[in-house]
Amino acid sequence: MGDMANNSVAYGGVKNSLKEANHDGDFGITLAELRALMELRSTDALRKIQESYGDVYGICTKLKTSPNEGLSGNPADLERREAVFGKNFIPPKKPKTFLQLVWEALQDVTLIILEIAAIVSLGLSFYQPPEGNSAPKAQDGAAMEMQPLKSEDGGDGDEKDKKKANLPKKEKSVLQGKLTKLAVQIGKAGLLMSAITVIILVLYFVIDTFWVQKRPWLAECTPIYIQYFVKFFIIGVTVLVVAVPEGLPLAVTISLAYSVKKMMKDNNLVRHLDACETMGNATAICSDKTGTLTMNRMTVVQAYINEKHYKKVPEPEAIPPNILSYLVTGISVNCAYTSKILPPEKEGGLPRHVGNKTECALLGFLLDLKRDYQDVRNEIPEEALYKVYTFNSVRKSMSTVLKNSDGSYRIFSKGASEIILKKCFKILSANGEAKVFRPRDRDDIVKTVIEPMASEGLRTICLAFRDFPAGEPEPEWDNENDIVTGLTCIAVVGIEDPVRPEVPDAIKKCQRAGITVRMVTGDNINTARAIATKCGILHPGEDFLCLEGKDFNRRIRNEKGEIEQERIDKIWPKLRVLARSSPTDKHTLVKGIIDSTVSEQRQVVAVTGDGTNDGPALKKADVGFAMGIAGTDVAKEASDIILTDDNFTSIVKAVMWGRNVYDSISKFLQFQLTVNVVAVIVAFTGACITQDSPLKAVQMLWVNLIMDTLASLALATEPPTESLLLRKPYGRNKPLISRTMMKNILGHAFYQLVVVFTLLFAGEKFFDIDSGRNAPLHAPPSEHYTIVFNTFVLMQLFNEINARKIHGERNVFEGIFNNAIFCSIVLGTFVVQIIIVQFGGKPFSCSELSVEQWLWSIFLGMGTLLWGQLISTIPTSRLKFLKEAGHGTQKEEIPEEELAEDVEEIDHAERELRRGQILWFRGLNRIQTQMDVVNAFQSGSSIQGALRRQPSIASQHHDVTNISTPTHVVFSSSTASTTVGYSSGECIS
C-alpha cells in the first residue's frame, strides 16, 4: 500500500504545466470544434481527439484547465470563458403567454358551442325591426350568413394549414377524448331540442295568426312578424345554452388542479396535468427495484472470503492480512470518491450514505472490518488514479488502475459476480495465496455461494485484482476487454437492500385494482426473483416469466436482429421480472406493451426511472415517474410525475388520485345532466304552453351558479378512498356515463319534473294562493312562482348529495364529512337561498314565503334522497332501454393515415364537430338563397339576379374548407314598406 501512495506524482508534470499556462493567450479550441467533437461516438471520437489534440491532456492544455482540479475559480477567468463558450446551463422553456393559455382553453368543444351561441345572441341583440315607407328590396327579411375570417383566395392560408397539419400532436388522454365526444353528443341533443322549440313556436304562431284568425300576410306587417320570429329564435338559443353543460370544463380544471395540489402532499410532483387522470387508467407499471421497491440502504450481510462462506460479516482477525489489505485498498480506490459514509444527523440515528448506494455498502463493509477507507484515499488521492473504467449498464463492472513506484500497475475490479468471475483465472485461498481458478471451481461457487445469496434477495458483487509487472510493455489501456481479464478473485459479498415494509401491501392493492406490476432491474435474475417474491410480484406456483435482458432480446428479435411485435406479444403478458436489463431493454418493453393489440383495450403503461438513459422509456410511457432523490435532471425533465420520496407506494396514491379525478367528473356530470334535462324540458314546455318561463333570468343565473361553479367545486374536491382500488381500470372504451348513471339521471329528472309541473299547474290550489301564470307584464313577484323556484333549487341541493355516488351505492352520506368544501358549499348555498327568497324581492322575482311553505319546499327537496333509494333498488340490468354516453374513441373510427406515429391524431369527436360545421354552413347558404328567391318574387324583381347569387356545390365546398374558428355572423336586413292606414296592432292580435 506504501508503494501505491507514490502514485500521487502521476499527474504532477501535467498539473504544474497547466497551472503555468493558465490564462495565457486565447483558447486553442473553439466552441464549434467542441460541439463537433460531442457529436462523435466511440472510436470516431477517439480518432478525432488523437488527430486534432493528441490526447485528453492536449484538450485540457488548449482549454487551459486541469483534468484533476478543474477550473481555478478566478472570477475574471470564468467571465472570459462564459463570453467564449457560453453559460453551462440548460435554458428554460419559454413559458406560454396568458393569451396562449386563454386560446388553448377556448378550444374546448363545450366552450365552442357556447361561443357560437353567444355570437348569435350578440348579433340578434343589434337587430332593429325595420321601419319607414321605403320600397321593398331584394333582401327583405333577416338574411343571415356566416363569413370566414380567411380570404377566399386561400393561397397563404392553405400553406399554413398544411404546415400546421404536419406538426406532431400528442394523443388525447382517455378523459379528454371521452369529454370531447360527450360534449358533441350533448350539443347535438341540445341543438335538436332548440330546433324543435323554434319550429313549434313558429308553427303555433303561423297557425294561430293565419289559419285560426284568418289574417292575410301583409307586406307592411313583415317587420312585426320578423320580431316574433327573432324572439322565437332567441328562445331556441336559450334552450341550447341551458342544454350545454358549460360547467364541465370548469369541473375538469378544478378537479385536476385540486388533485395536483393534494398529490404533492402524497409525494407526487405532477409536471403534466393530464398525467394525473391518465394514471387512473393505468393497466401496467414497470418499476425499478433499487430505491423504489427497496429501501436503497444497502448493507453487506454475507461474504465469501478465503474460501469460506460467512453468513454474517466476519471479524477482521479471521481474514489473512494480505487478503484484508487487498480488500481495503481495492474497495477504497475502486469506489467513486464522491461515495462516502457520513455521521448521522441525529444522535442515535443511522450513518448517512452519500453517493452510490452499492459503493456505500462496500465502504460500510470496511468500517465493519474496523478499517477506515478515508486513510487510503488520503494516501492515494483521486488525481493519483492512473486510469478509471467507470461503471456502465452494459459491462456491469468498474475498474481502477494504480501505477506503483517501481513502474508496475495494479488494477482493481468490482461488478456483477457472475460477470467478474468469468474473467477470474485465480482466487485467493485460505492462506492468502493465489491459486488456479478453473471453470469447475467457478461453477461450484455459483451453485454453493452466489445462487444461495441471490435466492435470499442479496445483490452479489465480486471483488478482484490483477498485477501488471514492471519491465513488460505497457498495456493498451484503451482496450478494456484485454485489461480486465486474467483477474484474481479476492471475495464475493452479498449486499442486502431490504424491501420497503409498505411495498408488498401496495403491490397487492395494485393487483386487486387490475394493474400488473413488473420489475425491471439490472440485478442478477435470482436476486430479482427473490425480491419480486418478497414484494408479491411473483407468487409460488404461478405461470409467470422471469427473463434476463439477453434472453429477452433473443426471444423478441428475428434472424436479422429486428424487433418483431408478434414476438413481444408472446412474452409481455406473462413477463413479471426483467433482470440484468439495460435502459434500452426497458424502452423496448414499454413500447412493445403500448403498441400491442393482443388485449381488448390498449394498455396504459406507467414507468419509473432515475438515470439519464431512462429518458426514452419515460417519454414513451403514458406516465413517466422520475425519482426525486436518486433521479438525474434528464430523467426528471422526461417524466410526467416526480416521486419526491422515490417510494412505490406513492405510485399507488397517484393511481387513487387519477381514478378519483375520473369519478369526480362523472359525479359532476350525473348532477349537472339531471339539472340540464329538467331545465331544458321546463324551458321547452314553458315556452310552448305558457309562452313564459317559470324560472326568471336572474333565478336561472343563480341555478346556473349552483349547478356549475359551486357544484363543480363541491363534487370535484371529493378526497379519494381505498374503495377506488377495488375495481379494474375503466379503460379507453368504457363510457363516461354508465347505464347506472343514466338510470340515476333520468330517474331523478322524472321526480323533479313531476314536482315542478305539479307545482306549476296545481300549486296555487294546494297552497291556496294566487296563480302566477298569465300574470300581467309588470306584475309583482308571485308566491306561486317563488315556491316553484325555491323547491327547484332545494331539489338540486339535495340531489347534489345523491350525485356523490355513481356506482349504485345506497349510503350517499358515507365520508361526507371528510370533504369540508362540499359541506361548506351545500350549507352556504342553502343560507344564500334563504336570503334570496326572503329578502330578494323584485330583483330576484321572489316573494317572501311562510314557514309552512318553506317546510313543504324542504320536504319536496329531501324527497330526492328518498327517491334515490328507490332508484337504487331497481336493477340496472332490467332497464335494457338505457344507453351509455361518452364512449372513448374507437380505433376503427380513425382513418389509417391519421394513426401514423408522430402525426396529429384527430379525435373522432372533433371530426364529427367539423362535419357538423360543414353541414351547418351549407344549410345556411341554401336558406339564404331560398329567402333571396322568395323576396325577389315578392318585390317583382328579376329572379335571375337572385339565382345568380347561388353558389355552386364546388364553391360551397371551397368556402367550407376555408372556414376557421372563430367566424363572425352577419345579420343583414333591409327596410320594408308599410302601407299607410295599417298600424302594428292590425298585423297581429
Taking the C-alpha atoms of residue 160 and residue 906, their distance in angstroms, rounded to an integer, is 18
CA distances from 349 to 345, 368, 501, 645 (A): 7, 17, 19, 19
Taking the C-alpha atoms of residue 701 and residue 233, their distance in angstroms, rounded to an integer, is 20
Task: Give the cell for residue 782.
Answer: 308571485
User: At residue 577, what are phi and psi to the nearest 5 degrees?
Assistant: -135, 125
Task: Give the cell for residue 744.
Answer: 340515476
Taking the C-alpha atoms of residue 607 and residue 587, their distance in angstroms, rounded to an integer, is 9
Could you tell me if 37 and 47 are in contact, meaning their C-beta atoms sit under 8 angstroms apart?
no
Could you tell me if 664 and 256 are in contact, meaning their C-beta atoms sit under 8 angstroms apart?
no
Interacting residues of 156 by C-beta distance below 8 A, sequence separation 6+: none
Pairing of β 424-428 and β 487-496: parallel
Task: Give the cell for residue 236.
Answer: 331556441
Taking the C-alpha atoms of residue 590 and residue 593, their distance in angstroms, rounded to an integer, is 5
Q: Which of 383, 298, 311 is nearest to 341 (CA)?
A: 298
Could you tell me if 495 and 301 are in contact, meaning their C-beta atoms sit under 8 angstroms apart?
yes
218-235 as b/e, with b when 16 or more CB fall inside 10 Å? eebbbbbbbbbbbebbbb
Could you tell me if 863 and 751 are in contact, meaning their C-beta atoms sit under 8 angstroms apart?
yes
Taking the C-alpha atoms of residue 984 and residue 222, their distance in angstroms, rounded to an integer, is 10
Task: Give the cell for residue 900.
Answer: 401514423
The β-bridge partners of 519 are 287, 577
Could you tell me if 730 and 281 are in contact, meaning their C-beta atoms sit under 8 angstroms apart?
yes
Could you tell me if 789 and 834 are in contact, meaning their C-beta atoms sit under 8 angstroms apart?
no
Question: To which residue does cell 365526444 refer?
Answer: 181
Taking the C-alpha atoms of residue 263 and residue 248, their distance in angstroms, rounded to an integer, is 22
Q: Which of 182, 153, 143, 40 is nearest to 888 (CA)?
A: 182
Taking the C-alpha atoms of residue 248 and residue 667, their distance in angstroms, rounded to an integer, is 11
Could you tell me if 619 and 643 are in contact, meaning their C-beta atoms sit under 8 angstroms apart?
no
Q: Which residues are catalytic?
A: 288
User: H or E stretch including 82?
Assistant: helix 75-85
Residue type, 952: S
Helices within 435-545 (DSSP H only): 439-445, 451-455, 480-483, 503-512, 525-535
Q: Which of 489, 496, 490 is nearest to 454 (CA)?
A: 496
Q: Is 464 helix (H, G, I), strand (E, B) or coil?
A: strand
